A and B are shown apart, each in its own frame.
Chain A
Amino acid sequence: MSERPSTLFVIWVLVERDLRTLVKSPFILINRTIFFLIQLFVFAVLVSKLASSLGFNYFDFYSVGAVVSTITSIAFIIGEDLFEEEELGLLDYLLSLPFGHSLFVVGRALGGAVRGLIYVTPMMILVAYLDGYFSPAGIAGSLIVIFVLATGISGLSITLAMLIRNANRFDIIIALAELATVRVSAAIYPLAFMPKVLQPVATYSPVTSASDIVRAIFLSGYQSGVYETVILVLFVAVFFGLGSAFLFRKIEGGRFE
């Protein structure tokens, strides 16, 4: 007979499952890595030359934003996973395993964030190197920042997955949500160059906050403070809480029946 596993162990095993499936999907990994490298070494280099006349180093600015937008994109996958798990009946299996439903919810949300973090860590180190930043403590701090962001995005994705019951509709909404969170932010272009109507929204975007904090760590001439941190923490608190609550309610209430 088997022993009942501990809480931390269960969370780790749930996260491990997400990592195993990610590693087993090399096409996704290769695809996103190639996209990242092309964006960095072709797009950013090119635009940086165009913007050099303005005295603005776009490459440095974009390199951080590219990592932040990549982890945002990966963290959104968790919602699709939930739909797929339901479709394949995997959710029944997962819910029958010896841990509470609330632990399952936490494990899924953290799993989405952790696999994003593991995936972008080499990218973050590459960007730090390209930006001439070599402090391990600073790099570790920047990874914590994007992990926090990814946890909130996972929560947002789970919330949307729970609110939208149709998989096709979810695919469309999640694509739009990803587009909005990355494009209406200062991840890939400065706020000052954005249309005036979008600037207020982008200012309060958690993606902007995460990008600004990491830039302030890596690059000279950039600043961030309590304001960005508060936005980021609020975003995580709201959507991690909402996503967990919605998923928990769906599971407890008979799920996707």
Chain B
Amino acid sequence: MSSRSFHSVFMVASCAAAALGCYLVSLRVASERAQLEGVETKIVLAQRDLRVLQTEIGTRGRLSQLERWNAGAFALSAPSAGQFLRGGFELARLAQPERNVDFQAPVVLASAPAPAEPKPLSTGPETDDAAAPPSNTPSSLLHQASLKTETREVPARTVVTLPQTIAKSTDKPVSAAKPAHKQSMEKPGLAAAHQAVKKAAPKAVMAATKKSVDKAVGTSARPMTKPVRLAKLDPLAPLPGRHSGNTRESAAER
């Protein structure tokens, strides 16, 4: 038999195969779609359940119920006007202790030195006023105002050079240095200023704090060859002892 005579058979067979293929694809699509619908139905059912649960939670936690709990147990109230902050700065201000004015503290004035030729220590006789070497450290820009007139009457005979022990002691925290100075305990405002001013050692200041410093000077006196150190404490800051006490108290208050 020639292939020509089977031609029609092949045609029918291939058509049938194609139709079957198409049908299978469509069947597959239909089943996928049915599955999808099943999932969608599940989603809707889940949505309905969600609604039921949300409604139940909303009903149990309704605002009037919360209000009742608040009245009975929590006793929370709306914040007052002073409890609102307008930004980071106001928030930071809360963390800082309040600065209360200490009338006992020394009046510290800022003063800039006139630009003058640095005078070597050895040349010429030194007066009381010229005792301090001119330097641009912050401590040299400050001088302490004082009303202690009786101490000023005591003349300072010699140039008091700053002993190293004292210079070192300025590095320590003020609280550590404090017990040594009886006067500064009595007049607490002076303590911080002492630490700052001491290493520059202007004569007037030394005279004012004579009692406390003289002993130390007596024990060890060395020529002032050490480099001048910068103050580590702010002379304008309030008393450290009180200061820390305040912080603790205010922290406890909050």
B is a partner of A: no
